Chain A
């Protein structure tokens, strides 16, 4: 037991590579989650009962798909999506390939978060916008998004941290990253030094993300 400093120096290049692999995976899947999940979350909200683009069938279908993806354990999703990964990236190993599964998992996760954030908006503010004669697009752009902005940013923070956790499993399909390093060296080879170092890196990473998220959410909120 105990930390061997020599071991850290020895494996430092590996740790660095793994760190950037983690960042790559999180970066790509977060971007996809934001681009696809945000509109999906908005759609889930505005097509719901009593809202300005109420559409029960659309709402039910999207809700159903989101629930299905969310109910599949990530480790199974990783394996199940190997053909899709191959189709999109041309390979099934490495951080880019792992980003496909991570994205698929993050989209519905973030969509639900966005939907919940939008639900926190006082319905009266939306009604006031309808009464003013605003178009649906204006309501989304000038009421929903600004009013839910702080809450959505908290949701982004939550999504990133979940991605950090999920990315550790990407090692199963050769995705790489910090979590993978921890499992390969720390778990399989009983290398406590690497185990501790990687866990510390992950703890620091999550703390920083959380603090940055809290700070941003607070700074932009005008309430």
Chain B
């Protein structure tokens, strides 16, 4: 649905040229929810704004639904944007227009005949659960409600793609969750492709299928959210993951353990517990749980246990190999001994 090829965006400032996005290529499939995470300044915002050409890439191309947007003239680009919805961190509703008129504005942009406006606006309000707010002004709405209006506006012309620029970053955790559920619902119902950028890893964990991590304008890691959570490659990715799921034992505690401290990870398996008890029965080692959690990522369980194993080093090695043979990912954590 979206092909980003060798996209680079540089900005000329008083202090010289700054590279916002550095040679990024991504392919996002139809119906996918794709998350891009990174700290501020990583280039994720520039990247998402290049997808609908709110910012024109310095080089590279952006193809949405088979259309290379960088090659369109302004009128064709305007038409293409009708099929690319976008929501924003600060909602950006027209403050002097009612909820109804804000949504009707988007429909009028597509040349919707006046007689069809009312029905469609009401349908959209129904979808985002704001039917009773039809005639109020944005100032009278809460943040979550404003974002719902933003979503209704973005979806007005049945877009194939929805871009979310830090859409939940200004919302409290509960509201964030309800907006994310709404986005997921919409994704399932309309099979719309969603691209979202965020610095909150829980957003990605909650609804994304695939993700990319950005740093310094580049994509440093990309893949299925589940796989990345299970086995992050880059330091930054690990840092982001540890912000939502703590798979670690505090450093100062580690040095107090005399045995071998290992992290055992089971993909998709609550059954992991069985592996551990089998291991403890079959090998002359003593196990001591330091930490255990089963995280649900995209509704698939990811089991993580940190334990201290005591025994002769060869027995411990055998025990670890046994767990690996039962498809656990085992990692020895150095504890400074």
User: Across the interface, which residues of A come within 8 angstroms of B147, CB to CB?
Assistant: none
Q: Min CB distance, A215 to chain B, in Å? A: 17
User: Complex formed: what's the CA distance from A132 to B157 in Å?
Assistant: 9
**Are A222 and B110 in contact (CB-based, < 8 A)?**
no
Asked if residues B139 and A222 are in contact (CB atoms below 8 Å), the reply is yes
* A52: min CB distance to chain B, Å: 9
1/0 per residue, CB under 8 A from B, across A116-127: the answer is 000000101101
Q: Which residue of A lies closest to B78 (CB)?
A: A133
Q: Given A129-B105, A133-B110, A222-B139: A146 and B96 within 8 A (CB)?
A: yes
User: Please, which residues of chain A bring their CB within 8 A of the CB of B157?
Assistant: 133
Of the candidates B92, B97, B109, the one whose C-beta lies within 8 Å of that of A146 is: B97
Binary contact track A137-161/B, C-beta < 8 Å → 1, others 0? 0100011001101000000000000
Q: Cβ of B88 and Cβ of A124 under 8 Å apart?
A: yes
Distance between B155 CB and nearest chain A CB, rounded to angstroms: 11
Question: Chain A: interface residue count, which band?
Answer: 20 to 34
A142 touches B92 (CB 8 A): no
* Contacts between chains A and B (CB distance < 8 A), count: 84
User: Is A131 positioned at the interface, with any CB of B under 8 Å from its CB?
Assistant: yes
- The contact of B108 among A138, A149, A222, by CB within 8 Å, is A138
Stretch at the interface among B23-31, B79-87, B297-305: B79-87
Interface residues of A in 186-223 (CB under 8 A from B): 221-223
Asked whether A84 is an interface residue with its Cβ less than 8 Å from the other chain, the reply is no
For the complex, is A135 an interface residue (Cβ under 8 Å from B)? Answer: yes
A146–B97 Cα distance when bound, in Å, is: 8
Proximity string of chain B (85-101) to chain A, C-beta cutoff 8 Å, 1 when within and 0 when not: 11010101111110001
Contacts A130-B81, A133-B78 given: A147-B109 contact, CB under 8 Å? no
A131 to B163: give the CA distance in the assembly, Å: 10
Q: Is A3 an interface residue (CB 8 A)?
A: no
Q: Are B105 and A135 in contact (CB under 8 A)?
A: no
Of A132, A135, A138, A149, which one neighbours B153 at CB under 8 angstroms?
Answer: A132
Which residues on B sit within 8 Å (CB–CB) of A147?
94-96
| Chain B residues touching A, range | 20 to 34
Residues 40-81 of chain A: 1 if any B CB is under 8 Å from the residue's CB, otherwise 0? Answer: 000000000000000000000000000000000000000000
Is A128 an interface residue, CB under 8 A from the partner? yes
Q: Name the A residues within 8 Å of B78 (CB-CB).
A: 133-135
CB-based contact B94/A122 at 8 Å: no
- Which of chain B's residues have a CB closer than 8 A to the CB of A128? 86, 88, 92-93, 150, 153
Q: Is the C-beta of B52 less than 8 angstroms from some C-beta in chain A?
A: yes
Check if A146 sits within 8 Å of B94, measured CB to CB: yes
CA distance A149 to B97 in the complex (A): 12
Interface centre among A122, A133, A142 (most CB of B within 10 A): A133
**Cβ contact within 8 Å between B93 and A125:** yes
B105 CB contact (under 8 Å) in A130, A132, A149, A223: A132
Min Cβ gap A96→B in Å is: 37
CA distance A8 to B310 in the complex (A): 111
Q: In the complex, A203 Cα to B97 Cα: how many Å?
A: 37
With the chains together, A146 CA to B102 CA distance in Å?
12
Are B109 and A127 touching (Cβ within 8 A)? no
B208, CB-defined interface residue at 8 Å: no
Given known A-B contacts A127-B54, A128-B86, A135 and B93 have beta carbons under 8 A apart: no
B143-162 interface (Cβ within 8 A of A): 150, 153-154, 156-157
CA of A176 to CA of B171, assembled, Å: 61
B64 interface hit (Cβ, 8 Å): no
Quick one: which of A124, A134, A223 contacts B109, CB cutoff 8 A?
Answer: A134
Given contacts A132-B82, A133-B79, A133-B106, 4 further A-B pairs with CB under 8 A are: A122-B90, A142-B108, A222-B137, A223-B96
A-contacting residues of B (Cβ < 8 Å)?
52, 54, 78-82, 84-86, 88, 90, 92-97, 101, 105-106, 108-110, 137-139, 150, 153-154, 156-157, 163
Mind listing 20 A-B residue pairs with CB under 8 Å? Answer: A122-B92, A125-B92, A125-B94, A125-B95, A128-B153, A132-B82, A132-B85, A132-B86, A134-B78, A134-B105, A134-B106, A142-B94, A142-B105, A143-B94, A146-B94, A146-B96, A147-B94, A147-B95, A147-B96, A222-B139
